[in-house]
Structure 1
Amino acid sequence: MSVPVAPGRLPLLGHTLSLLRARAGFTAGLRARGEIVKVHLGPVPTYFVTSPRFVHQVLVTDSSRFRKGIMFERFRPFLGNGLLLSEGAYHRRQRRMVQPAFHRERIARYAATMVRAATDVAAGWRPGEVRVVEHDMQALAVTIVGEALFSTGVGERATAEIRRSLFDVLKNGMVRALSPEFVSRLPLPVNRRFDEASERMRGIVLEVIASRRTDDEDHGDLLSMLLAAQDEESGDGMTDRQAYDEVLALLTAGVETTALALAWAFHELAENPEVERRAHAEVDEVLAGRPATFEDLPKLVYLHRVVNEVLRKYPIWILMRKAVEPVDLGGTVLPPGAEVIVSPHAVHHDPAHFPDPERFDPDRWLPERVAALPKGAFVPFGGGARQCMGNVFAQTEVVLTLATVAARWRLVPVPGKPVRTKFTTAAYPSGLLMTAVPRN
């Protein structure tokens, strides 16, 4: 039986994305029109899939029939050809080479860096001080990923430069990627900031790579793993450009997701006193006044549920894929070249699987409730061969940071200063002002 395809019209990519960002009701409205909604990106046939079963088919079971979609292609000139954007055999080769950097024993080593960085942030706050939480979490995420990537003296300079430049690259790169090509050549402040930040970051990262080429020492960081990696078939390692592209991919994927998750987590703890009480009780019981460690992760059960609920409620808005051969979605055959839009936000807010989806409820992630979810209903890190390789790193970072900060502080909203939300590829908190209140 063929699944009916509902029609719709979204004439231009930029217009489409502005509608996607405009309100949650847009994706919910598409879901109400069916499991597959055909829309228009100019002359390109585009299919918005709204059900978990088709999300799973696109991302996992039939993933080899797709490549990255048009939005990702627009980003490649700015974000390189690392794992985030590369395709086909090259992507499989690079993924094999990068994978060992995220093995369990490596993440256990990075965990100490995560806790130390979070401890430094918590130690820098003062009772009654008002913090701009999204800025603190952005700086923390850059510090953690930077120290995990680079562990030497020049690496400290690299991390400082990345902290200065990365968000200009991400924010202004988004503007450039979604604008007509001629806009990037105009003498606009947004272009100047993007170009200057890109060049500063490129220069310092390539400097670190060059310095590492002069020795064979394993510094215990991600860059050492990248430069030591060899293709299992050819025996070749990565060129400087390939290593730089992978560093940029790790920075792009590793900073934005965790910074957003941490900021929204503190917001939701403050908005939900019973959730906050349970999280603090668990932290106090597990840590008993000592620093968190990697070995504590299996015991921080409730914090893991809090993090999953943050990832459910505040995911990226869309992923795009392009069919490279005919694909049958429930009797609807997508032609080669068709663009497919998958919306984690849509499936994460589907009341059929997440009742009262705007309510923050960590108990959705009790084992028996998770077992009832269909495949494709929860995809915060994508899925299949293109699932984010750093997902365990990110979840470890968020849980350990929450535990470290919550052991010492409560963050209380500033009266009369509600958080605003800005939308790009995800929902960003803006002006998340919170007062640091000592717990003891």
Structure 2
Amino acid sequence: MPVPVAPGRWPVLGHTPSMLRHRFGFTAGLPKHSDVVKIFLGTMPTYFVTSPELTYQVLTDGSNFRKGAMFDKFQPYIGTGLLLSNGPFHLRQRRLIQPAFRHERIAHYSATMVRAAREMAESWRPGEVRQIDHDMQGLAVTIVGETLFSTELGKQATDEARRSIFIIIKQGMIRALSPGFVERLPIAGNREFDQAVARMKAVVFKVIADWRAQGVDRGDLLSTLLLAADDDGESMSDQQVYDEVLSMLTAGIETTALALAWLFHEIARHPEVERRLHAEVDEVLGGRPVTFADVPELTYTRQVVNEVLRMYPVWILMRRSTAAVDLGGVAIPAGAEVTVSPHMLHFDSRFYGEPDRFDPDRWQPEKMEKLPRGAFIPFGAGVRQCMGNTFAQTEIVIAAATVAARWRLVPVADQPVRVKFTSAAYPSRMPMTVTARNQ
């Protein structure tokens, strides 16, 4: 089957300028061409998959696909943690880390989530204007940082993550989509990226060395990583532990921070959604702080979270074929780059009626059952699915319920919010006025 080439290709630079300028608009237009469309990142051809069925095949077929070129560009800086590793090494690391994300461990971490969310909510004052996107970034960094590191030295690592992680994510995405020579140019973005990575590496290795010297299980994620051993009794090296820490910081902060910011933005724009969410929080909590046991009972809140994750997901993911494979009648050669887009699928009107409309009711169980596999992939799928997905969803529900129990957040009328496109959907700004619910 012939593969159409997407419009908007530039000489030498390929589709990269069109993708960086139009982001979601570019990828949203690809399904009309075919289930598989060829695009060029610079001179490198990639096969862009536009159907949920083929996307699911790519994401779950661990024998024929591995992480692709986008992740190769991150690897020299972020290492070979779960986010970037492949093959047997990835499976080994996944087995070593799995115990850290079991149900009982997330229940343990939830105490940190509750405390951090309460401290944030209690620091606000009625009538003040907060930059909610900044507050949610700070909350996400605090929660991931404190579950990773429980010592005083660990607080330095958390502070550095607050300073550097979003630089690494933003500039890293630009590097991943750009020709190789761009990362060698003496430009501000490259300097910021390199300096941020160097700072994170220095402070995390210092925390690891301190743990090795003490050798005490502190019940945090770092202890879990350092104490883990495979079937042969082999544990992780300091470099492997660092790689996993940076993977957790990178993957564990962006999605949660953005989801929480957009959640408060969307419920403020939809009064009926806000009313129903507040009513459920009041009924389930009865005026007391939220607990881990409450999360399954907050059913409408979780529907709201799902709708936010649908509307504001990761933009694109890349894989590389390790053998010749058939994708919907298209012969993909070994070594080919394959791209999928959670955002494109989440806005496909074939699966979501009026996809631009914020509608938590589309996540009622009977409606969810009708979605094809691959149509909703906020955390990926298969063996590459984000291991921290339950951690993240628990964190979002707890933070949303904690804030909603006490406050309403009202948009500032003369400061509209726009979406900025990087690796995911960032708000241009998000000023909101804090209003007590009993007013």
TM-score, normalised by the number of residues in structure 1:
0.95
Partner of 1:349: 347
Match of 1:238 among 228, 236, 239: 236
Q: What displacement does 1:429 show?
A: 0.7
Partner of 1:38: 38
Q: Which runs of 5+ in 2 are unaligned?
A: none
Q: Which moved more, 1:322-331 or 1:140-149?
A: 322-331
What is the alpha-carbon distance in structure 1 between the residues aligned to residue 228 and residue 13 of structure 2?
38
Partner of 2:226: 227
Partner of 1:378: 376
Q: What displacement does 1:40 show?
A: 3.2
Q: What displacement does 1:163 show?
A: 1.3
Partner of 1:205: 204
- Relative to structure 1, the CA distance from residue 128 to residue 18 in structure 2 (aligned partners, 3 Å threshold; closer, same or farther) is farther
What is the alpha-carbon distance in structure 2 between the residues aligned to residue 14 and residue 295 of structure 1?
51
Contact 2:69 2:176 in 1 (8 A): no
Q: What displacement does 1:27 show?
A: 2.3
What is the alpha-carbon distance in structure 1 between the residues aligned to residue 180 and residue 326 of structure 2?
34
List aligned pairs for 1:121-270, cutoff 5 A: 121-232=120-231, 234-270=232-268
**SS across alignment from 1:7:** coil
List aligned pairs for 1:102-117, cutoff 5 A: 102-117=101-116
Q: What displacement does 1:181 show?
A: 4.3
Contact 2:128 2:433 in 1 (8 A): yes
1:172-204 CA deviation, whole Å, 9 max, x = no partner? 333344444444444433333333322222111
Contact 2:307 2:360 in 1 (8 A): yes
Partner of 2:50: 50
- Relative to structure 1, the CA distance from residue 14 to residue 314 in structure 2 (aligned partners, 3 Å threshold; closer, same or farther) is farther
Matched, 1:388 2:381: no
Q: Which moved more, 1:66-75 or 1:261-270?
A: 66-75
Contact 2:318 2:340 in 1 (8 A): yes
Whichever residue aligns with residue 302 of structure 1, its letter is: Y
List aligned pairs for 1:51-70, cutoff 5 A: 51-60=51-60, 62-70=61-69
- Relative to structure 1, the CA distance from residue 13 to residue 237 in structure 2 (aligned partners, 3 Å threshold; closer, same or farther) is farther
What is the alpha-carbon distance in structure 1 between the residues aligned to residue 379 and residue 13 of structure 2?
23
Matched, 1:422 2:411: no
- Relative to structure 1, the CA distance from residue 261 to residue 13 in structure 2 (aligned partners, 3 Å threshold; closer, same or farther) is farther
- Relative to structure 1, the CA distance from residue 85 to residue 159 in structure 2 (aligned partners, 3 Å threshold; closer, same or farther) is same
- Relative to structure 1, the CA distance from residue 277 to residue 28 in structure 2 (aligned partners, 3 Å threshold; closer, same or farther) is same
1:26-62 CA deviation, whole Å, 9 max, x = no partner? 22321112212223345544221111111111111x2
Match of 1:7 among 5, 8, 11: 5
Q: What displacement does 1:153 show?
A: 1.7
What is the alpha-carbon distance in structure 1 between the residues aligned to residue 180 and residue 34 of structure 2?
34
Whichever residue aligns with residue 150 of structure 2, its letter is: S
What is the alpha-carbon distance in structure 2 between the residues aligned to residue 145 and residue 356 of structure 1?
35
What is the alpha-carbon distance in structure 1 between the residues aligned to residue 24 and residue 199 of structure 2?
37
Partner of 1:25: 25
**SS across alignment from 1:196:** helix
> Percent of pairs identical after alignment?
63
Contact 1:14 1:179 in 2 (8 A): no
Whichever residue aligns with residue 74 of structure 2, its letter is: F
Match of 2:398 among 392, 400, 407: 400
The 4+ residue runs of structure 1 with deviation greater than 6 A are none
1:81-102 CA deviation, whole Å, 9 max, x = no partner? 1110011111111111111110
Count the aligned residue pairs. Answer: 436
What is the alpha-carbon distance in structure 1 between the residues aligned to residue 20 and residue 347 of structure 2?
14
Q: What displacement does 1:294 show?
A: 0.3
Q: What displacement does 1:168 show?
A: 2.3
Q: What displacement does 1:416 show?
A: 1.2
What is the alpha-carbon distance in structure 2 between the residues aligned to residue 70 and residue 272 of structure 1?
40
- Relative to structure 1, the CA distance from residue 256 to residue 49 in structure 2 (aligned partners, 3 Å threshold; closer, same or farther) is same
What is the alpha-carbon distance in structure 1 between the residues aligned to residue 27 and residue 185 of structure 2?
34
What is the alpha-carbon root mean square deviation over aligned residues?
1.8
Whichever residue aligns with residue 219 of structure 1, its letter is: R
What is the alpha-carbon distance in structure 2 between the residues aligned to residue 51 and residue 325 of structure 1?
21
Contact 2:14 2:40 in 1 (8 A): no
Partner of 2:303: 305
Contact 2:56 2:374 in 1 (8 A): yes
TM-score, normalised by the number of residues in structure 2:
0.95
Q: Which runs of 5+ in 1 are unaligned?
A: none
1:242-261 CA deviation, whole Å, 9 max, x = no partner? 00000000000000010010
What is the alpha-carbon distance in structure 2 between the residues aligned to residue 104 and residue 124 of structure 1?
30
**SS across alignment from 1:64:** coil
Whichever residue aligns with residue 93 of structure 1, its letter is: R
What is the alpha-carbon distance in structure 2 between the residues aligned to residue 381 and residue 20 of structure 1?
23
Partner of 1:287: 285
Whichever residue aligns with residue 276 of structure 1, its letter is: E
Matched, 1:274 2:243: no
Contact 2:41 2:178 in 1 (8 A): no
